[in-house]
């Protein structure tokens, strides 16, 4: 999709430029901004190099695990379908802890592992479970407290105090995460998205695919489970 957007931008720019007579400006924009991008990145390199070094130190010192300990009690509440000792929870917690520290590259492998573990708790092959949707929503709302790339870009652009946005970013990102959690909880109750309804609809349409990798787990919370075959389970 980005392909169409970019080509659209350039095409519209040139055509508009011809009509408004600004075509000379459009041409110099190409040269000027190509140079701009290099200037910006040059300004970025220093702080990125410093920050990555710092974050590696944080990682090596086990700070991620420490943060994970704080995060865990909250997580067991947000993911009631996942047993407390299931590896999925561990991976979820590490992913979020790494994201909080701004370690995007460390967070992603944990995130992928979390999804794979959550899939073993999924009775269907291709329908997202409540835990998966919650995990994804929290992730995409961003839990990163100190967003270095933005700070570095501000600094590179000559900000008087690049970090004056740190507080607002924290506020905005907390608001977005809270919104994500509430949205998942509420939307999940709607008829069209309720997991049991989706499964029933799929079964009726004959497209329900069972998950061959589903693993029964001791200690799954005792509540009415999701029923695959239309029978109510205990």
Q: Does residue 226 interact with another protein by CB under 8 A?
A: no
Q: Does residue 165 interact with another protein by CB under 8 A?
A: yes
Closest to another protein by CB, 10 or 69: 10
Picking from 37, 48, 34, the residue whose alpha carbon sits closest to that of residue 152 is: 48
Size of the site for another protein (CB under 8 A): 107
Given a contact cutoff of 8 angstroms between Cβ atoms, the answer to whether 176 and 139 are in contact is: no
Q: Does residue 212 interact with another protein by CB under 8 A?
A: no
Cα–Cα distance list, 147 to 62, 114, 159, 173, 177 (Å): 20, 23, 16, 10, 15
Among 74, 84, 112, 210, binds another protein (CB under 8 A): 112
Closest to another protein by CB, 76 or 141: 141
Closest to another protein by CB, 169 or 200: 169
- Ramachandran assignment for 209, one of left (phi > 0), alpha (psi -120 to 50 degrees), beta (any other): beta
Interface stretch with another protein, choices 5-13, 67-75, 83-91, 223-231 (CB under 8 A): 5-13
Backbone angles phi, psi at 199, to 5 degrees: -65, -45
Among 108, 203, 214, 225, binds another protein (CB under 8 A): 108
Q: Does residue 196 interact with another protein by CB under 8 A?
A: no
Among 69, 74, 84, 187, binds another protein (CB under 8 A): 187
Closest to another protein by CB, 146 or 222: 146
Whole-number minimum distance, CB 31 to another protein, in Å? 9
Q: What is the 3-state secondary structure (H, E, C) of 172-190?
A: HHHHHHHHHHHHHHHHCCC
Q: Does residue 228 interact with another protein by CB under 8 A?
A: no
Closest to another protein by CB, 62 or 80: 62
Q: Quote the CA–CA distance of 218 and 86 in Å, as a whole number.
A: 9
Q: Quote the CA–CA distance of 219 and 134 in Å, as a whole number.
A: 21
Q: Does residue 62 interact with another protein by CB under 8 A?
A: yes
Q: Quote the CA–CA distance of 41 and 97 in Å, as a whole number.
A: 28
């Amino acid at each position: 999709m980005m392909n169409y957007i970019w080509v659209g931008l350039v095409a519209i720019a040139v055509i508009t430029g011809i009509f408004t007579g600004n075509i000379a400006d459009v041409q110099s924009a190409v040269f000027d901004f190509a140079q701009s991008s290099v200037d910006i990145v040059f300004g970025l390199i220093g702080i990125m190099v410093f920050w990555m070094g710092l974050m590696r130190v944080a990682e090596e010192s086990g700070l991620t695990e420490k943060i994970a300990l704080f995060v865990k009690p909250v997580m067991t509440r947000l993911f009631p379908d996942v047993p407390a000792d299931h590896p999925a929870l561990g991976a979820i917690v590490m992913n979020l802890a790494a994201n909080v520290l701004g370690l995007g590259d460390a967070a992603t492998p944990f995130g992928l592992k979390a999804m794979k573990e959550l899939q073993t708790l999924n009775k269907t092959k291709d329908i997202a479970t409540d835990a998966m949707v919650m995990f994804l929503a929290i992730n995409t709302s961003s839990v990163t407290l100190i967003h270095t790339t933005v700070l570095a870009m501000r600094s590179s652009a000559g900000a008087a105090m690049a970090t004056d946005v740190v507080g607002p970013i924290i506020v905005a990102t907390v608001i977005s995460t809270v919104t994500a959690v509430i949205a998942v909880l509420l939307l999940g109750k709607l008829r069209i998205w309720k997991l049991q309804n989706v499964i029933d609809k799929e079964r009726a349409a004959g497209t329900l695919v069972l998950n061959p990798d589903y693993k029964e787990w001791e200690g799954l919370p005792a509540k009415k489970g999701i029923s695959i075959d239309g029978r109510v389970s205990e």
